[in-house]
């Protein structure tokens, strides 16, 4: 890869291959059936039992709902090792904390996606300095769904590229895209897919699609609901609410026209959940803010929690209409 290729293109192109490699690690660990689940805050093994269901393993977990598995840990080590080798001056922040241990050599991938490298670089990103770049990594978004049978399509690998305060590049890899069709013997070329976008530059790996007119479909959490989360949804008078796992998966619903807005009135999401999805969404003409209408910032010193909640709308949606409809009580719960 020529060093004259603009840094943003090299970052996103390398993130596409790293996310894809991490996705294979995630599938391999599931196939081996030993997820090594711990509850994150306590960092202790959780009470666990498992059964096979429809050819998948379902893990029943007693305890809290902020889990980490061997797949989260290994996928992060793969991504950090791959990107830090190529971009030593860039700050990389991963959900699972810093990890300096050795990784198997075949986890380190340094090739680049050729489609991304072919893109025209937007003028405002042409001369960025690697010291202003932060890469936000969620190695496995949707861990709760990863441990439950039938929900593997909710799992994504997220790599977001921020320059200064702004999310400008994003990669969303969906390792189990098409897995049900493949299991049923359907023709599937390759397991998984990778979607990416550069704000002002373009997108790849999917066809941006607007949601249908004449109805309002909202998407939200399936595993972290609260009365405030529900109050926000009710105020928006939806025709349908689709409850799926993962911030990455929910933003995919927006960019592929399956929902109009992603509404999450909770402080639970973090910067690594929203950086990549936000960049891809903006690249398609959508918007992501907190529930006060403020944009999140992604520089390296920013606190990780997205304490103002998440409102993301697909292209063509009036973001301000959603903001105006939210009750004060919901907004006040998110300060
Ligand atoms: P969800 O929409 O519930 O699948 O959450 C999207 C992302 O935010 C996932 O990475 C979750 O782990 C994270 N998240 C949301 N709510 C919480 C919470 N209450 N505690 C910990 N993580 C959360
Ligand atoms: Mg996540
Ligand atoms: Mg995660």
Check which CATH number belongs to the domain holding 308 and give it. Answer: 3.40.190.80
Is residue 263 domain-shared with residue 141, that is, in the same domain? Answer: no
Instruction: Tell me the mean pLDDT in the region 61-73.
Output: 79
Catalytic residue among 17, 20, 69, 72: 72
Is residue 149 domain-shared with residue 175, that is, in the same domain? Answer: yes
CA separation for the pair 50, 33 (Å, rounded): 10
CA separation for the pair 222, 281 (Å, rounded): 21
Is residue 173 domain-shared with residue 264, that is, in the same domain? Answer: no
Strand partners, 264: 310
Q: How far is the CA of 268 from the centre of ligand 1 (A)?
A: 5
CATH of the domain at 162: 3.30.540.10
Q: Is the pLDDT of residue 60 over 70?
A: no
Catalytic residue among 143, 194, 284, 289: 143
Q: Is residue 20 part of a domain?
A: yes
| Structural domain count, the chain | 2
- The ligand 1 site (C-beta within 6 Å) comprises 66, 141-142, 221, 223-224, 245-247, 266, 268-269, 273
Ligand of minimum distance to the alpha carbon of 72: 3
Annotated catalytic residue 143: yes
How confident is the model over 153-192, as pLDDT tens digits? 999 999 999 999 999 999 999 999 988 877 787 776 678 9
pLDDT band (50, 70, 90) for residue 54: low
- Cα pseudo-dihedral 242, 243, 247, 249, rounded to 10: -60
How confident is the model over 302-324, as pLDDT tens digits? 999 999 999 999 999 999 999 99
How confident is the model over 193-203, as pLDDT tens digits? 999 999 999 99
Q: How far is the CA of 26 from the centre of ligand 1 (A)?
A: 19
Q: Is residue 24 part of a domain?
A: yes
Q: Which helix (H) or strand (E) holds 143?
A: helix 143-146
Considering only CA atoms, which residue is closest to atom 8 of ligand 1? 269
pLDDT band (50, 70, 90) for residue 34: confident
Considering only CA atoms, which residue is closest to atom 15 of ligand 1? 268
Q: Helices 7-32 and 70-86: crossing angle, nearest 10°?
A: 150
pLDDT band (50, 70, 90) for residue 42: low
Q: Is residue 53 part of a domain?
A: no
**89 annotated to a ligand binding site:** no
CA separation for the pair 275, 273 (Å, rounded): 6
Q: Which helix (H) or strand (E) holds 134?
A: strand 133-141
State the CB neighbour count (10 A cutoff) for residue 11.
28
**106 annotated to a ligand binding site:** no
Is residue 112 domain-shared with residue 169, that is, in the same domain? Answer: yes
Strand-strand pairing, 240-243 and 287-289: unpaired
* Domain end point (choices 204, 236, 258): 204
Q: How far is the CA of 185 from the centre of ligand 2 (A)?
A: 31
Whether 155 contacts 38, CB under 8 Å: no
Q: Is residue 136 part of a domain?
A: yes
Is residue 75 domain-shared with residue 182, that is, in the same domain? Answer: yes
How much of the chain exceeds pLDDT 70, in percent? 91
Give the environment of ion ligand 2: residues with CB less than 5 A: 138, 141, 273
Name the residue of 39, 263, 269 whose CB sits within 8 Å of the most ligand 1 atoms, as the mutation to test its pocket.
Answer: 269
How much of the chain exceeds pLDDT 90, in percent? 82
Whether 133 contacts 7, CB under 8 Å: yes
Query: Can you give the three-state secondary structure of 56-125, one letter per residue?
Result: EEEEEEECCCCEECHHHHHHHHHHHHHHHHHCCCCEEEECCCCCCCCCCHHHCCCCCCHHHHCCCCCHHH
Is residue 222 domain-shared with residue 173, that is, in the same domain? Answer: no
Is residue 84 domain-shared with residue 190, that is, in the same domain? Answer: yes
Of 53-57, 185-189, 326-330, where does the model show the most confidence? 326-330
pTM of the full predicted structure? 0.95
**240 annotated to a ligand binding site:** no
Q: Is residue 246 part of a domain?
A: yes
Range of the domain at 173: 7-35+67-204
Instruction: Tell me the mean pLDDT in the region 22-41.
Output: 91
Q: How far is the CA of 269 from the centre of ligand 1 (A)?
A: 5
Q: How far is the CA of 266 from the centre of ligand 2 (A)?
A: 14
Considering only CA atoms, which residue is closest to atom 2 of ligand 1? 221
Radius of gyration of the chain (CA): 19
Considering only CA atoms, which residue is closest to atom 18 of ligand 1? 268
pLDDT band (50, 70, 90) for residue 217: very high
**Between 48 and 171, whose confidence is greater?**
171
Is residue 195 domain-shared with residue 111, that is, in the same domain? Answer: yes
Annotated catalytic residue 301: no
Q: Is the pLDDT of residue 11 over 90?
A: yes
Number of H helices, E strands in the chain: 10, 16
Q: Is residue 292 part of a domain?
A: yes
Is residue 244 domain-shared with residue 103, that is, in the same domain? Answer: no
Is residue 157 domain-shared with residue 26, that is, in the same domain? Answer: yes
């Amino acid at each position: 890869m020529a060093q004259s290729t603009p840094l943003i293109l090299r970052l996103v192109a390398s993130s596409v291959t790293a996310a894809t490699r991490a996705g294979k690690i995630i599938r391999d660990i599931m196939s081996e059936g030993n997820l090594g689940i711990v509850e994150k805050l306590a960092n202790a093994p959780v009470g666990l039992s498992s059964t096979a269901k429809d050819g998948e393993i379902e893990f029943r977990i007693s305890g809290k709902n902020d889990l980490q598995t061997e797949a989260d840990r290994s996928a992060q080590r793969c991504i950090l090792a791959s990107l830090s080798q190529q971009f030593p001056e860039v700050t990389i922040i991963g959900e699972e904390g810093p990890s300096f241990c050795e990784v198997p050599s075949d986890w380190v991938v340094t090739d680049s996606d050729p489609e991304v490298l072919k893109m025209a670089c937007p003028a405002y990103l042409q001369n960025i300095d690697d010291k202003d770049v932060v890469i936000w990594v969620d190695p496995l978004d949707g861990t709760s769904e990863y441990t439950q049978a039938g929900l593997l399509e909710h799992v994504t690998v997220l790599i977001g590229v921020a320059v200064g305060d702004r999310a400008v590049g994003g990669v969303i890899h969906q390792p189990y895209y098409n897995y049900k069709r493949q299991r049923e013997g359907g023709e599937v070329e390759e397991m998984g897919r990778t979607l990416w976008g550069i704000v002002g530059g373009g997108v790849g790996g999917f066809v941006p699609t607007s949601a249908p007119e004449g109805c309002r479909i909202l998407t939200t959490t399936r595993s972290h609901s609260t009365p405030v989360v529900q109050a926000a949804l009710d105020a928006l008078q939806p025709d349908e609410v689709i409850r799926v796992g993962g911030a990455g998966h929910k933003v995919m619903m927006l960019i592929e026209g399956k929902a109009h807005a992603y509404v999450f009135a909770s402080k639970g999401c973090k910067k690594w959940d929203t950086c990549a999805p936000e960049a891809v969404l903006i690249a398609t003409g959508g918007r992501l803010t907190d529930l006060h209408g403020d944009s999140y910032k992604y520089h390296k010193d920013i606190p990780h929690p997205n304490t103002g909640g998440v409102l993301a709308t697909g292209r063509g949606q009036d973001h301000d209409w959603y903001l105006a409809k939210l009750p004060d009580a919901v907004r006040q719960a998110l300060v």
